[in-house]
Amino acid sequence: MLQGAVTSRVVRGVGALTVAVGLLVTNVSGLGARPAAGLAAAQPPQTRDQRLYPALQREPGDPEVIARGQAVYGISCRACHGLDLRGGDLGGPNLLRSQLVLKDDGGDLMGPVIRDGQSGAGGSSMPPQNLSDADLDAVVEYIHDILGTASRQGGPPPGEEIELDILVGDATAGQTYFADRCASCHSPTGDLQGIGARVESPKELQDTWVRGGARNAERPPTTVTVTQPSGEPVSGTLERLNDFLVVLTEDDGRHRSFTRRGDTPRVEVDDPMAAHREMLPLYGDADIHNVTAYLVTLQ
């Protein structure tokens, strides 16, 4: 069923791909302002020679030449290598990961192949392309320009976020599962009232409930009781715990820490998130999808 879900959305994905390529076309006209692709948005803009990835270090080409190259690519190359350069129906390889393209310097490797053609891997072959020198140079420039948008660890150039529907579950089955496994701590009319409306997207809702809260959400504190062999139990909010130390804050704000040696002192931790952790190995993916489908109905 899950695989069926993937297949049914393939067509949609290809449609979205066209949108992504459209974005690249937009980039061509706005070259100077293009952000450093793949680098974290929080980083200050870097000059090209400050970028760690080879394709990103290249100086941008002449926008007019690139635009010409894009047009030439559309006419002579696209049918085989695909609109987005990642390979096409007629068997042309993905140019964005081609070793020859990556190593090309100003057409020294691509030029002869475009001009003369070549026999490719697996018996495929590329016919010679009858291009003027200017058009050949332009298409090489265009390909390098697209390579310069690749993301840092070998991903494709970033396109527009593709909207995918993750809701494949059965809300009724999800409600049953919820009643069995979740309702001892959570209530659709209590803490989860309107959760489907409060969380931005079904995907975020799913990640949030499986994790047991939003990524940076304030969680109920973990409390701990430490009992020395001779002495009163000391309880408070757990600050740190490892095999050698337990640190807590008592209700009055007092800081306490205790050395641990094996089972001494006795340390009892009450972690409200423990139930979520313990559920992780027990969920089936269908359970997760069903519960998500149910929770989005809590508007």
Partner 1 sequence: MTAAIATHRPKPPRCVTAMAAALLLAPIASSAQPGGLDPASLVAPLEDSWPTYSGDYSGRRYSKLAQVTTDNVQQLTLAWTRTLDSGMPALEGNNAPDFIGGEGTGDFTIGSQRIKGSILQVGDLLYVTAPDHVWALDVRDGGERWHYFWKTRGGPHIGNRGVAVWRDSVIFETVDNYLVSLDATTGEERWHTEIASFEEQYFSTMAPIVVGDHLLVGTGNDLDAPGFLQSFDPATGELQWKFYTVPMTEQDAGIETWPSLDAAMHGGGQVWVPGSYDPETNYYIFGTGNPTPGYTGVARRGDNLFTCTLIAVDVDTGEMAWYFQTSPHDTHDWDSAQTPILIDGVIDGVPRKLVSTAARNGYFFTIDRVTGEHLVTTRYGATSNWASHIRESGSPNPHPAKEAIIPGSLVSPVEGGVANWQPPAFSPDTGLFYTQENNGFNMLYLTDPDPRGSMGLGGKDRVTVGSGGNALSAIDYRTGETTWRHAWPVGGGGGAGVLTTAGGLVFTGDGSGNFVAFDAADGDLLWNTRIGNISNAPQTYLIDGRQHVLVAAGQQLFAFVMY
Q: Which residues bind partner 1 (CB under 8 A)?
A: 2-3, 5-6, 9-10, 12-14, 17, 46, 49-55, 57, 82, 86-87, 93-94, 96-97, 99, 102-103, 120-122, 124, 150-156, 162, 164-169, 203, 206-207, 210-212, 240-244, 262, 271, 276-277, 280-281, 283, 285, 288-289
Give the count of alpha carbons within 13 A of 209, CB side only: 31
Burial of 123 (0-12, 13-18, 19+ CB in 10 A): exposed
What's the closest the beta carbon of residue 229 comes to partner 1, in angstroms?
A: 19
What's the closest the beta carbon of residue 103 comes to partner 1, in angstroms?
A: 5
What's the closest the beta carbon of residue 179 comes to partner 1, in angstroms?
A: 21
Helix (H) or strand (E) holding 248: strand 245-249
Distance between first and last Cα of the chain: 27
What 3-state class would DSSP assign to 186?
A: coil
What's the closest the beta carbon of residue 265 comes to partner 1, in angstroms?
A: 15
Our CB check for partner 1 shows the closer of 26 and 57 to be 57
Instruction: Count Cβ neighbours within 10 Å for each residue of 5-34 and write b for 16 or more, e otherwise.
Output: eeeeeeeeeeebbeebbeebeebbeeeeee
What's the closest the beta carbon of residue 252 comes to partner 1, in angstroms?
A: 26
What's the closest the beta carbon of residue 149 comes to partner 1, in angstroms?
A: 12
Q: Give the gyration radius of the chain's Cα atoms.
A: 29
What's the closest the beta carbon of residue 165 comes to partner 1, in angstroms?
A: 7
- Structural tokens at position 34: 């293009």
Our CB check for partner 1 shows the closer of 127 and 244 to be 244
Our CB check for partner 1 shows the closer of 253 and 262 to be 262
Our CB check for partner 1 shows the closer of 61 and 93 to be 93
What's the closest the beta carbon of residue 230 comes to partner 1, in angstroms?
A: 24
What 3-state class would DSSP assign to 228?
A: coil
Alpha helices (runs of H) in 36-169, residue ranges in sequence order: 54-57, 63-76, 78-81, 99-103, 110-116, 133-147
- Structural tokens at position 202: 């079904």
Our CB check for partner 1 shows the closer of 103 and 254 to be 103
Our CB check for partner 1 shows the closer of 133 and 204 to be 204
Our CB check for partner 1 shows the closer of 28 and 210 to be 210
Torsion of CA 231, 236, 237, 241, to 10 degrees: 0
Our CB check for partner 1 shows the closer of 203 and 256 to be 203
Cα(244)–Cα(282) distance, integer angstroms = 31
